[in-house]
């Protein structure tokens, strides 16, 4: 390891990802900053269109450069990735940083065997021979808990079950011992019992290899299980960040609060309605002015002078904790805990 554990391994600063479309410019990510240290997991939560997947494709440099403008800085282990030459990024991808996608069936090539797909990453980055990379593929399949790996290595993805495919995808991502693993909703398409298996596997592998993980999900339950820190995204911006326990216990942003209120629990009251957030996520073609959450926010009127609609709230992070909201700490204590008390 080249850097000490306290220094960020990945540091994203003021990231902007804008797509030009026929209808105008979509500001998919609009000023996002975060740090991640080795061996830790950052959970990114957000709904569709919040920019969580766009952010991670930008880290890997996978956006089409013709239609995407990426601004800001992405530093991996001290190396700037934004604007790095394609050859360099190709060298890093699959090697130092790897990604797992949601839909393993669609994300694995239907035309090549699992073994080929895992082995070719290894060959590309280590220059190993075909026989060596095949042996490595079998070893990886074994590592992620696929039974009879020496036989299954020659199977095609469609011959695997959903959980096995996701395991194979993890094996493919980890074959070169990456230091950064980005997992984009890796368990969303899976059943709960399989989801639990996959999350255990990721935790085990992290413990073993010290990988830094970015875990993208829309499910706060999954975050509670796997993340160390949480970053909540809304409309292309970070609205709240902090250690998992603090964000889930004492959310500071009304959006995080609303998400928690939207989710029924296994032991909560059943006869009261849920506390949904009204309205729908914003269009990023014409995003709301000021705070992007203000049209759906129950507390926007509590802030004087209509500031929420006029002024973008700044994200102030102190000791890794903070939120982007105009409410004062006192208001937050009053409103957010009050409503929470009513719900329970």
163-182 positions binding other proteins, by CB under 8 A: 163-164, 169, 172
23: contact with other proteins by CB under 8 A: no
**Cα–Cα–Cα angle for 211, 40, 240, nearest 5°?**
135
- Check residue 276 and report its DSSP letter: P
174 vs 238, which CB is nearer to other proteins?
174
> Which of 72, 300, 321 has the alpha carbon at shortest distance from 313?
300
Q: Which is nearer to other proteins, 73 or 107 (CB)?
A: 107
CB 287 within 8 A of CB 304: no
Q: Does residue 127 interact with other proteins by CB under 8 A?
A: no
Number of residues that bind other proteins (CB under 8 A): 76
Minimum gap (Å) between residue 112 Cβ and other proteins: 8
The nearest distance, CB 201 to other proteins, in angstroms, is 11
Interactions with other proteins, residue window 183-202 (CB under 8 A) = 191-197, 199-200
Site string for other proteins, 285-304 (x = CB under 8 A): --------------------
d(CA 141, CA 320): 37
Of 75 and 219, the one with the shorter C-beta distance to other proteins is 219
**Is 203 exposed, middle or buried (CB count within 10 Å of its CB: 0-12, 13-18, 19+)?**
middle
DSSP state of 258: H
Cβ proximity to other proteins, 223 vs 303, nearer residue: 223
Contacts of 118-121 spanning 24+ positions with Cβ under 8 A:
118/153, 118/168, 118/171, 118/172, 118/175, 121/94, 121/95, 121/172, 121/175, 121/176
Q: Which residues, in sequence order, are CB contacts of 332 under 8 Å at separation 6+?
A: 252, 325
What residues between 208 and 227 interact with other proteins by CB under 8 A? 218-225
Kindly state whether residue 110 participates in binding other proteins, applying the rule CB under 8 A: yes
Residue 74 CB neighbour total at 10 angstroms: 21
| Residue 94 within binding range of other proteins, rule CB under 8 A | yes
- Which residue spans within 77-197 are E strands per DSSP? 79-80, 97-100, 180-184
Judged by CB under 8 A, the chain residues 313 through 342 that form the site for other proteins are: none
Does 344 participate in binding other proteins (rule CB under 8 A)?
A: no
121 vs 325 by CB, closer to other proteins: 121
Q: Which of 215, 115, 195 is nearest to 160 (CA)?
A: 115
Residues 128-167 that bind other proteins (CB under 8 A): 156, 158, 161-164
Quote the least distance from Cβ 341 to other proteins, whole Å. 16
Stretch that binds other proteins, among 2-10, 16-24, 129-137, 262-270 (CB under 8 A): 262-270
Q: Restricting to residues 230-249, which ones interact with other proteins according to CB under 8 A?
A: 244-245, 248-249
Q: Is 273 in the site for other proteins (CB under 8 A)?
A: yes
CA 192 – CA 63 distance, rounded (Å): 32
Q: Is 62 in the site for other proteins (CB under 8 A)?
A: yes
For other proteins, the closer CB: 56 or 304: 56
Give the C-alpha separation, 149 to 203, whole Å: 21
29-48: contacts with other proteins (CB under 8 A): 47-48
User: Min. distance of Cβ 122 from other proteins in angstroms?
Assistant: 10
């Amino acid at each position: 390891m080249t850097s000490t554990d306290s220094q960020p391994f990945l540091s994203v600063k003021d990231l902007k990802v804008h797509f030009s479309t026929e209808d105008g410019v979509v500001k998919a990510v609009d000023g996002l900053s975060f740090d991640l240290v080795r061996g830790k997991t950052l959970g990114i939560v957000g709904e569709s269109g919040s920019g969580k997947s766009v952010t991670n494709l930008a880290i890997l440099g996978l956006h089409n450069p013709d239609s995407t403008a990426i601004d800001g800085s992405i530093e991996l282990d001290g190396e700037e990735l934004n604007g790095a030459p394609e050859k360099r990024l190709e060298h890093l991808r699959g090697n130092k940083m790897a990604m797992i996608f949601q839909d393993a069936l669609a994300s694995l090539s239907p035309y090549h065997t699992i073994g080929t797909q895992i082995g070719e990453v290894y060959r590309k980055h280590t220059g190993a021979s075909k026989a060596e990379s095949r042996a490595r593929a079998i070893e990886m399949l074994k590592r992620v808990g696929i039974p009879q790996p020496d036989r299954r290595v020659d199977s095609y993805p469609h011959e695997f079950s959903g959980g096995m495919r996701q395991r194979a995808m993890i094996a493919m991502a980890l074959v070169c011992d990456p230091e950064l693993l980005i997992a984009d909703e890796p368990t969303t398409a899976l059943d709960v019992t399989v989801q639990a298996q996959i999350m255990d596997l990721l935790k085990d592998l992290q413990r073993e290899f010290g990988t830094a993980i970015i875990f993208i999900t829309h499910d706060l339950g999954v975050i509670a299980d796997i993340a160390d820190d949480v970053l909540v995204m809304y409309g292309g911006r970070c609205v709240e960040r902090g250690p998992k326990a603090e964000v889930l216990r004492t959310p500071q942003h009304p959006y995080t609060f609303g998400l928690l209120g939207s989710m029924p629990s296994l032991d909560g009251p059943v006869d009261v309605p849920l506390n949904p957030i009204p309205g729908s996520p914003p269009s990023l073609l014409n995003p709301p002015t000021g705070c992007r959450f203000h049209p759906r926010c129950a507390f926007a009127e509590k802030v004087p002078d209509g500031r929420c609609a006029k002024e973008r709230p700044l994200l102030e992070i102190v000791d890794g904790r903070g939120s982007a909201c105009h409410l004062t700490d006192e208001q937050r204590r009053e409103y957010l805990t009050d409503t929470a008390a009513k719900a329970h």
